[in-house]
Amino acid sequence: MNVPLTPVRFLRYSEEQFPGKTAVVCQDQRFTYAEFGDRVGRMAGALRSAGLKAGDRVAFLSLNCHRLLEAYYGVLEAGCVLLPLNYRLAAPELAYILNDAGAAVLFLAQEFVGVVDSFRRELRTVRTFHQLESHQIEGTPQAGWLSHQTYEQMLASATPYRGELMAFDENSVAELFYTSGTSASPKGVMLTHRNVYLHALSVALNHHTRFEHVLLHTIPLFHANGWGAAHTITLMGGTHVMLPRFVPEEVFRLVERERVHALTLVPIMTTALVNSPARSKYDLSSVEWAAIGGAASSPTLIRDVEQKLGFKCFSGYGLTECAPSLATAELKPDVQCTAEERYVLQSMTGYAFPGCELRVVDAEDKDVAHDGVTMGEIIARSDGVMAGYWQQPDATAEAMRGGWFHTGDMAVIAENGYILIVDRRKDIIVSGGENISSLDVEKALLAHPDVYEAAVIPVAHEKWGEVPRAFVVAKADCKLSEVELIEFCRARLAHYKCPQSIEFCENLPKNAMGKVLKKELCKKYHAGPVTMRSEC
């Protein structure tokens, strides 16, 4: 008889086989798999005792911590749906998501009491609010609308509950993640028990995850399972190390103390690590690899990580709708290349994970030539592709037409199967009839040794229709000029692709995953010049 596919089985296995192994490290607390499993069972029991029913949405507003990791198993064990919230969203955005999802209960860290208080009267379905911490943090407000029972008190008084595995429906929704909403209202992505289970197996197989594996959770767990790591580590009996906030020196300290094997990063995190003056003070020799995703990387950044931090580095690709991982740029074992060619390959979008199929297609969904030049849209079919968008059948049908998920990412594909995203469809710059990839221009700018960050947007031009405009953040104590950078780009790109103008700024607007919000740059440009500086 086939047992339903559910991530609940991952913790059940490790709890049984490795009860004394360290499962979670969270600041000064450590939990074995036996302790982790007991807390998860008590959480499930507490939810059921509170009257929650199968399919009810349980929301968490928290930094990375052991309690949020417990929710990835306890909420599902109780038969409910986990809704992790992006704590960097504004109050109206959080209210929209909670109402759209119809959340029944909200668990929140004390530092978010103020923001929740500002919109809680607008919530239509949330019945109770539970503080995660067992005591009040000094200097934070005490809210009378919070339940008298904190999360810890609920666990302490609960009877552990374990659902019957055969009763799980692997096609039911396990997790609900909301897209970033950069171009429209956020959409709820429904990931089933089957999606999450098979995605975790695929990622663990690709990364050779093992019992000894120690992973530092640098990616917030509100983001599609923290790239699946909430499950891949557990299923192999590895160790989770929680990082509440990304601070370069704290990353280095935890890597040295816990002998971390792997890091998952976004480009801005990676750049911060490479440029941190603290990096030489710590032993990073335990790290085997770092995967960069969430936004496009560059060969320069890959080279800097390997040469300055001393471990293998490669890009990855995925979307919330795909649970999220689809591709890796880890070098294929049969590829022969020079060191510089290797950095280029490892900065690409990459090739499909096991269990994934990726195509690059034209407007009629026909495959483009595998020549590394012809542009098309990436479409995907995999075990991790979502069940659909929450209560949005039309948007689901459009995204999943033809049985393939349409990503909206424009790319080229080479003969060897490596894919390279050239831009989001909406970000392609059309100048004088020629398509310009803003990512290509950004990579050229980032190759300059004094450039810390760069973003490129299209701006109107009388003759050419639109041309590239760059926004650049220089490295500390570096002086850069517009003329210098444009000439630097012209040595690397066709002249029509180069920025027509460059503005220097203190920082770039980003979403919670470090992606630059180009729509904000467009607003600033059309509203007037951004803050200028001649040196940084």
Residue-wise pLDDT tens digits, 211-266 = 999 999 999 999 876 788 999 999 999 999 999 999 999 999 999 999 999 999 98
Q: pLDDT tens across 298-308, in order?
A: 899 999 999 99
Comparing CA positions, the residue from 400, 19, 67, 10 lying closest to residue 228 is: 10
pLDDT at 172 over 90: yes
Greater confidence, 108 or 525? 108
Question: Would you say 203 and 353 are in contact if contact means Cβ atoms under 8 Å apart?
Answer: yes
Q: Residue 421 belongs to what H/E stretch? A: strand 419-424
- Three-state DSSP at 316 gives strand
CA distance linking residue 87 with residue 267, whole number of Å = 20
**Residue 457, both tokens:** 């947007």
pLDDT the model gives residue 67: 98
pLDDT tens-digit series, residues 414-442: 999 999 998 777 777 878 767 788 888 99
Strand partners, 215: 240, 262
pLDDT in tens, 493-520: 888 889 999 999 999 998 766 778 887 8
Q: What is the gyration radius of the CA atoms in the chain, in angstroms?
A: 23
pTM score:
0.85
Q: Once rounded to an integer, what is the mean pLDDT over residues 69-95?
A: 95
492: burial class by Cβ within 10 Å (0-12, 13-18, 19+)? middle
Instruction: Tell me the H-state helices in 432-509.
Output: 438-446, 482-490
pLDDT of residue 137: 56
Question: Which residues fall within 8 angstroms of residue 182, CB to CB, at 6 or more apart?
Answer: 511, 515, 517, 519
Report whether pLDDT(295) > 90.
no
Q: Is the distance from CB of 450 to CB of 477 less than 8 angstroms?
A: no
Fold exhibited by the domain 428-527:
GMP Synthetase; Chain A, domain 3 (3.30.300)
Q: Where in the chain is the domain with CATH 3.30.300.30?
A: 428-527
Q: 90 or 30, which is more confident?
A: 30
142-144-147-149 Cα dihedral, nearest 10 degrees: 50
Query: Exposed (0-12), middle (13-18) or buried (19+): which is 62, by Cβ within 10 Å?
Result: buried
Supply the pLDDT for residue 9.
98
User: How do beta strands 376-382 and 405-413 pair?
Assistant: antiparallel
Top CATH class, 201-425: alpha beta
For residue 340, pLDDT over 70 is answered with yes
Q: Which residues, in sequence order, are CB contacts of 110 under 8 Å at separation 6+?
A: 131, 132, 133, 136, 137, 140
Q: What is the mean pLDDT of the chain?
A: 91
In contact, 104 and 39? CB cutoff 8 Å: no
SS3 letters across 116-163: HHCCHHHCCCCCEEEECCCCCCCCCCCCCCCCCCCHHHHHHHCCCCCC
Tell which CATH classification among 3.30.70.520, 3.40.50.980, 3.40.50.1820, 3.30.1200.10 matches the domain 33-168: 3.40.50.980
In the chain, which residues fall in CATH 3.40.50.980? 33-168
Q: Could you tell me what percentage of the chain is helix, strand and coil, using 3-state DSSP and rounding each to the nearest 5?
A: 35, 25, 40
Say whether pLDDT at 272 is over 60. Answer: yes
pLDDT, residue 413, reads 97
d(CA 260, CA 257): 8
